[in-house]
Every structure is written in C-alpha cells, then in structure tokens.
Structure 1
Amino acid sequence: MNVDYIIVGCGLAGISFCEKLKEQDKTFVVFDDSSQQSSIVAGGLYNPVTLKRFTPVWKSEAQLEVALPVYKKMEDKLGVSLDYKIPVKRRFTSLEEQNNWFAASDKVGLKPFLNTSLFDNANPKINADFKLGEVLQTGRLDTKQLSDSYKGYLLEHNLLVTDSFNHADLVIEDSGVIYKTITAKHIVFAEGFGIKQNPFFKDLPLGGTKGQLLTIHAPDLKLDYVLKSSVFVIPLGDDMYRVGSTYEQKDKTNTITQEARDMLLDKLKTFVDCDFQVVSQVAGVRPTVKDRKPLVGRHQTNQNVYLFNGLGSRGVMIAPFVANQLFDFIEKNVPLDQEIDCSRFF
C-alpha cells in the first residue's frame, strides 16, 4: 500500500489531521489500538476562558473560527449530532469574584466572551448566593460519539488498522517511511500520552495529567447550562450530567479510583442540593506540557517524522487549528507558531 501519510493515534488530534488530509485530497492510513482514553472520556467543553483565573485561552478566537466548521462538516459526513451549543455559567462565591469578572471583561482577548450582565440563580437546587457569570460562544462536543463514529467511518473505508503500532518496525528513508507493507511520504504521531513509549519523541516534556469524571442521574436538578464551580456540571440530556474533573499528576493509569470519586462528590455537594445517583466513572490521561502549549512539528533528525500532541484539556478547541498549522508546515513549508513548535524543547 502506498499513501501520503501514516497517522498513529485516532483521538482528537488524529481525527482533526485526517479531516485536513481528506480536505486536501491526501491519502492516509490510521493506526489506533484504543489504548489512549483521554479524548473519549473528556468533558468535551469548548470554552474560550480559563474560569479559575478569568484569563483568555491561547488564540481562542482563531481556534473557534477553525474548529466549529470542521465539527459541522463531520456531523454532516457521519450523520450524527456532535456539537451542542450550551451556555457556561460561572458560580461566584464572593463579591470579590464578581469584581474580578467585571475587571476581566474589559481585557483584550476576553471582551467577546464574558457577558457583563450577571444572572440571579433561579434554580432552587443550586446554591449560588453571589449570582452567576455567563461565558459566550461555548458548547459541548460529544467526543465519544465522534470517536466511535469516525473510527467506524475509517473502518468502512479500509483506512484504520486496530493493531498496536510497533515503532521498531518503522523504516525511515530519505524519500519517506516504510511500515511493514505500507509505504508513505510522511508519518504523524498523534498518540497522546502514548508518546512516552515512542522512541522518537519520548524525551520531550510531556507529563500527562490524569482526569476522572462521573456521570450522574439527577432528575430534580433541571440544569440547562454548564455550571462551573469547584467542578463542572455538564448536562447530557435525560437528566444525566457529567461531573469533573480531577487533575492528578502521579497516577498515569486509566484506572478509576474511590478517592477521585469521593473528591468529586464532596465538591459537588457544596453547591448542588438534590438527590442523585452515580451512573458511571471514567478516567484517562491527558497529554499535558509544562508550558500548557501543544507539541507539534518535525523530528530533529528524521525529516519525514512528525508529532501532533500535547493538546491537554482543551483538545476540542485547539485540535483543528493545530491540524491546519501542521499540514501547512509539512506541505507548504509554512513555519509553525513558535509557541507550539516542539523544537522549542530540543
């Protein structure tokens, strides 16, 4: 088989790059053994504001401008609903937080995204004495539906190999790469935290942050927006809500823990006052970088070997934007934004 690209990994990064290749009529094959869980267990929010500190997300306007049309195109192609427009409201715990919100709303990069009108809490099951602030241009992407549907699409078109990728079998030549029976011009590794087993990029400072989320059934909550307090509460429909997330630095497994469950429930009960039942708990390791920017670019010495990684907890927003940059870098020799180029760590 001869293709333009081999892609290793089919999370948000891999899917976004596949879409860019399809758009540009490039041929490819994807390897994914479902060992990485961060994309499918994500909350799926796209939110242009860091609500802990009221700061803008890096290049948020440009990211949304690129990402939302890509997801709409995938909805049409796959015949599924993925993008759910829903407000995000921040619960204030003091007058000081309200004042910080108003101060932030005048900052460059935040003005388009922060509603300067505060909202009274009208939900008797929510404790929010200091009102709520609304973030604009937000929503939720159903990342599990995207992953399942996109992998189904790739399988249907014989573009997905579900075997584990063995890096030792990759042969790198001046004109391209060879992997078993596949010859390609380029290979892009989009393995998420799996990069730690990748001999080409394993020394880059990708730490990995484990996140655990709960799904609860709460018939009396009747929440029609995403509520951000000490944890997020994300409506999923049918009185189901996703609650998260944890940020664990030491544990790098996909194993759920009672400790994380208890912590999330303790935080939830500080501002939600109704009965609910925990339906499920999931865990995954986010690919995070110490400077909170992606790791993208070319290997130091192997000119046909590329990296697309480090999307952290904001992969929904950033993946299509970075996919465009990586494609233009490979095919048109357009320099990457220095803030995301993995060469900053070489």
Structure 2
Amino acid sequence: MVDYIVVGLGLAGISFCEVLEKEGKSFKVINDASQQASQVAGGLYNPVILKRFTMAWKAKDQLENAKPFYLNLEEKLGATLDYELPVLRKFASIEEQNMWFEAADRPDLDYFLSTNILPNNNPAIDAPLGFGEVKYTGRIDTRTLVKLYKNYLEKSGQLVSESFDFDAFTTDGEYVTYKSITSKNIVFACGYGLKQNPYFAYLPLNGTKGELLVIHAPDYKEDNVIKSSVFTIPMEDDKYLVGATYKWKDKTNKPTEASKNELLEKLKTFLKCDFEVVDHVAGIRPTVVDRRPLVGKHPEHKNFYVLNGFGSRGVLIGPSASRQLFDFIEKNTALDLEMDIQRFTKKYYSN
C-alpha cells in the first residue's frame, strides 16, 4: 500500500514527486518515457512573453517558487540544473524599442525589463538596434533532470518503467489498484499521453508539437539567451539550442525536415557565423485551449487526479501547480480557479 501512484515522469511528475517526498508520503511512479516534451524542452524560464511584452500568467509568483525548488534538486541529485542567463530581446525596429520602454513602466514588468538598451558587441549577430534585457531568467537542464531523477527513483525502487495498462487498473471507490500496487490516490501527470486516458480524455488538451535544433558554432561566442524570430540558448562546448516551432496538426515525436528548415531560415536572419547542426529533437507540449494548466479531481472518482497542461512553461508552472494539487488533496484547500479542471467539466464531461 502506498499513498500515491504517479503516472508520468516529466516536469509535472517530478514536481509532484518532490512535494510527496517532502511531505513524507509514499509513492510509486509508472512511466514509459513515451512523452518527450520535458526532455526536449529548451528549459527556459522567462516570465515575460516577448512577442507582446506582457507578463506570463502568474509568472512572478511561479518563479519565486521555482528557484528554491531547483536549488533543492541540484543538491539532491548532485548536478547543476539551473543556469542563470539573461535573455536579450533583439529589436527589429525603433517601434519595438518604444514598445519595450512602455512595457518597462508597467507594474511587475518593471522588475524584469531593463530600461538600458544594450548595444550589440557580437560580430556574429546582426542586431543594429541592439537588445532589451530581461533579468532574472535562465535555463533548467531538463534532459539531465529527467535522466537523474529517473535514476534516483530506480535506486529507491519507486519507479516502474512501463506503459500504464488501464486493463490492469481497478478501483473500489476507496482505493485504486494497478497490478500489485494498491494506493489511496492516483495522479495522472502524463503530458500529451492524457489523450489516451479514458478518465480524463474529455479535457480539451490540444498538444502542440515543438522542434529544437542543437548547433555547434565555435565562432558565436554568446553567453546570453538571444531572442529574435527564434531563440538561441548557450550550452556547453560551443553548442546552442535553437528553437522552437509550434505545430498543431502533427502529433508525433518525429523531427521533420520542414521544421528544421524553418528554424534554420529564421536563425540565418540574425546569426552571421558558420555553424553545424548536431542534433534535432521533437516533442508534444501539453497545451490547453485557454492556456491554463489542467489540475484537479475527476468529477466521479474522488481519488483520481490530473496534473497537466503546462504547455511550454512547465519549468515555471510545475512546482507551484504541484504544491497546489497536494494541498487540495491533503488539506482540502481550494485550487486556483483558472487551473481547476472544473472549468471544463460541465461542458465536456458526460458519463
């Protein structure tokens, strides 16, 4: 008997497992690694939507929760995960510069947006109008995080590496049983895999395919995240992440030549040095019609829960949403109405 079964081990599953461990709850994780959104994510934490110069949903509060969360994971797993990096937004016009200054005067945004226009000192970048700097940003190495956390759970005997088999899952109303595992609660944190879940498939999870490139560019010599029509994020050994695409029809994890060409075309509009593509990855982001997470309890089964719909902001949302779900289950505290799945239950759910 355990307190929880957690299905999925991406950013949502890891975040919730961390809360469970901190609160002394026993759990088992079922994971088949079929959903790759967390592993192929850029891992960028940036509270500002740079297309419109607006704050992302509750991003400041999420960032305050996320920073100590990842610091604790670094100590626990013995690895660097959080790389603090400024994000430099390349200006395409004088109008964009003016919009930046207007945005920097707004509450909340003034904390993150520097009012100093940074000149471009990198000969490998075409940016005659300079950059705006977003402060307190960085990258979480999500690929390393998922790998090390999986190893951590394997060593403690808490991980079952297999696809969740709904034919081997039963409930008596009080407890749930998966094969030989009996639990008080089950939390589905399986990303886009939720579409195959017979209990929560009614939720309007869209799924957006994202593709990233890894380039090797020894002459780039850039230590900041550069955001133009695509972003470049520095890694180790003169490598950079380049992304990302947003495709709504293709629901496979297979990289495509079309998206690769799209990324390269946009990259070449500002990158003026030679580079080589050394990797190309894809995954399906769990996105929702209203761009809010899907968190809460099944309308009929009292101990079935969902933690999903983080989209491209799982690095920021995961820790806060996981804590909210745990407190909702264990302390009966209300969920944020904007993320509570009750907002969709009446419209979409039928027996």
Q: How far 1:150 sits from its partner (Å)? A: 0.1
**Aligned partner letter, 2:45:** Y
Partner SS for 1:297: strand
Deviations along 1:46-102, whole A, 9 cap, x unmatched?
001000110101111110111111111111111111000111000000000001001
Partner SS for 1:285: strand
Q: How far 1:111 sits from its partner (Å)? A: 1.3
Partner SS for 2:186: strand
**Aligned partner letter, 1:244:** G
Equivalent-residue separation in structure 2 for 1:280 and 1:143 (angstroms): 16
Is the aligned partner of 1:117 residue 2:112? Answer: no
Q: How far 1:174 sits from its partner (Å)? A: 2.6
Match of 2:21 in 1: 22
**Aligned partner letter, 1:320:** P
Q: How far 1:167 sits from its partner (Å)? A: 1.8
Equivalent-residue separation in structure 2 for 1:185 and 1:108 (angstroms): 44
Is the aligned partner of 1:247 residue 2:246? Answer: yes
Please, what TM-score do these two structures have when normalized by structure 2?
0.97
Equivalent-residue separation in structure 2 for 1:168 and 1:87 (angstroms): 48
Q: How does 1:140-179 map to 2 (within 5 A)?
A: 140-179=139-178
Equivalent-residue separation in structure 1 for 2:19 and 2:206 (angstroms): 27
Q: How does 1:271-310 map to 2 (within 5 A)?
A: 271-310=270-309
Equivalent-residue separation in structure 2 for 1:134 and 1:237 (angstroms): 22
Q: How far 1:153 sits from its partner (Å)? A: 0.1
Equivalent-residue separation in structure 2 for 1:242 and 1:203 (angstroms): 35
Equivalent-residue separation in structure 1 for 2:73 and 2:316 (angstroms): 15
Is the aligned partner of 1:130 residue 2:160? Answer: no
Partner SS for 2:39: coil
Runs of 4+ more than 3 Å apart:
none
RMSD: 0.6
Match of 1:107 in 2: 106
Q: How far 1:237 sits from its partner (Å)? A: 1.9
Gaps of 5+ in 1: none
Q: How far 1:108 sits from its partner (Å)? A: 2.1
Deviations along 1:102-122, whole A, 9 cap, x unmatched?
111111221111011110000
Partner SS for 1:39: helix
Equivalent-residue separation in structure 1 for 2:196 and 2:36 (angstroms): 16
Q: How far 1:173 sits from its partner (Å)? A: 2.2
Match of 2:323 in 1: 324
Equivalent-residue separation in structure 1 for 2:283 and 2:77 (angstroms): 25
Gaps of 5+ in 2: 346-351
Please, what TM-score do these two structures have when normalized by structure 1?
0.99
Q: How does 1:1-346 map to 2 (within 5 A)?
A: 2-346=1-345
**Aligned partner letter, 2:22:** E
Equivalent-residue separation in structure 2 for 1:104 and 1:168 (angstroms): 53
Q: How far 1:273 sits from its partner (Å)? A: 0.3
**Aligned partner letter, 2:308:** N
Q: How far 1:228 sits from its partner (Å)? A: 0.2
Q: How far 1:130 sits from its partner (Å)? A: 1.1
Deviations along 1:168-215, whole A, 9 cap, x unmatched?
322122322111111111000001000010000111110000000000
Aligned pair count reads 345
**Aligned partner letter, 1:44:** G
**Aligned partner letter, 1:316:** V
Equivalent-residue separation in structure 2 for 1:139 and 1:17 (angstroms): 22
Partner SS for 1:202: coil
Deviations along 1:135-168, whole A, 9 cap, x unmatched?
0110100000000000000000000000111123
**Aligned partner letter, 2:169:** L
Range that drifts further, 32-41 or 57-66: 57-66
